[in-house]
Each structure stands twice: as C-alpha cells, then as structure tokens.
Amino acid sequence: VDADNYLGVSSRAADGFDGFKAAKPPVFGSDYVYLSFDHKNWGDKSGPYGVDVRSASPGAKSWEFTVQTTAKNSTAMITWPNIATVGRSVMLTLTDLATGEVRDMRSASSYTWATGTSSLTRSFRVDAVPATRNQLVISNVAARMQPGRSAGVAIAFSLSAPAEVQVRILNASGTAVRTLTTGTSRAAGVNEVVWDLKSEQGIALPAGVYTIEIRAQSVQGHQAARVVQPILVTR
C-alpha cells in the first residue's frame, strides 16, 4: 500500500516547483506499489513527487502520475477517499492513459486494473475542470473507408468532455444492424472506432447507404448528446 500521495490547489502555490511540492522517497524492498507524480522538466528538482499542489488560478488543471508495482497477475487499485473536500464547481475525472477509460471521481471511489505479466507501470491523469465549461457536445464526425485486408470504416469523432459513448450502425430503414461500442468511457478530444462492415451476427453487409449514430452521456449522467451521419458503403 502506498497511501502518502496528495494533489490539490492552493492560493499560495505555483504550478511549477515550490514548497507545496514534496519529493517522493525512492522505492525500498523487492515487493512494492509506488505512485508518483513525475516531473522531468524541473532541472535539478526533477524527479518523482508524492505531493503536487498547484496554484488556485482559474481554469483547468491536470496531474499525470504513474503507478509501479511488482505484483504480477494481480489486481491493483487506486482510491481517493476524501473527494468530498472538493467543491461541486469542479468536475474531477481519472483517465487511464493505457486504455483511455475515464472515471468520474465523484460517482466512484476507486479504479482497478489487472497488472499482467510484463508491463508493471501504469500511467494516469487527473483532470479538474470548472463544471460550467463541460457542456457535452459531439462534433467533427468523419468516416473513412479502409481498403485492403483490413477493409472497414474508421469512424472518428470529438467529445467536448469525457462521456460514456454508444456507436451504432443503422440501415436505410433505421434499424440498428451493428453496435460498435456501448457504455464505453471515452476521454474528451478525438476518439475513433472501426466498423468491419459486418452485422451483429458477423455477416458481411451489402453496399448501400447506412447511418452512423453516436450517443454520449456525461460521466455524471446529467447531460446527453446524439448525432447521426449518413455513410455510403461501396464494395
């Protein structure tokens, strides 16, 4: 267990190195879990930190950190027990940078993952964003045919905020013929899914006009968005 890790903001702190940051002691022993905020551009102050308090200036804040563990084929967990001390005017999310999964830190108190057999370091990011800036919008939907052996359609879209996303393919009559993702957490920014031009049953679908339907729900469940875009499939 590595429990001595803190992030936050203070009106007296700076975003760079200052007295509100505390360096992390090195790892001891052969069995360990080690969380650290890694700062590599602080000159002679560069290194792992266990306390990272930033300035309380307006705007979004982000903290990236890593978790290292020697526990193979096990389950690792991050918890944040004192989230209630942060005002509701701030939206807090945890993003697993290995998978892109986003967790609303108010609706969940922990995040777990399988450590596997080889990669024993995991990278994460905590984002603190003013809640008033998080109107959920789906934009920049684009579909690109992929030729060759991996024939299919790459569907890209942008999210204005983290959300749980469902992407479906509808036929000309509006019936869903394939669900590409449902209830999957996606980070803000550009996302992409691929349709292999097959139905839910794995049958190749004929050429024609189809519709891409993208639905998103904010991680708090307070906002929803939907967009549709036609696509012409050729064979």
pLDDT over 70, % of the chain: 95
Size (the chain), residues = 235
pLDDT digits (tens, 9 = 90+) for 69-79: 988 889 999 99
Q: Which of 86, 118, 133 is the last residue of a domain?
A: 133
Token pair recorded at residue 201: 């049953």
pLDDT digits (tens, 9 = 90+) for 138-190: 999 999 988 766 678 999 999 988 888 999 999 999 999 999 998 888 888 89
Same domain flag for 95 and 194: no
More confidently predicted of 58 and 16: 16
Domain at 172, CATH number: 2.60.40.4070
Same domain flag for 26 and 92: yes
Residue 203 counted as domain residue: yes
Name 198's bridge partners: 204
Residue numbers of the domain that contains 183: 138-233
Token pair recorded at residue 157: 């879209």
Residue 113 counted as domain residue: yes
Strand pairing class (121-130; 163-170): unpaired
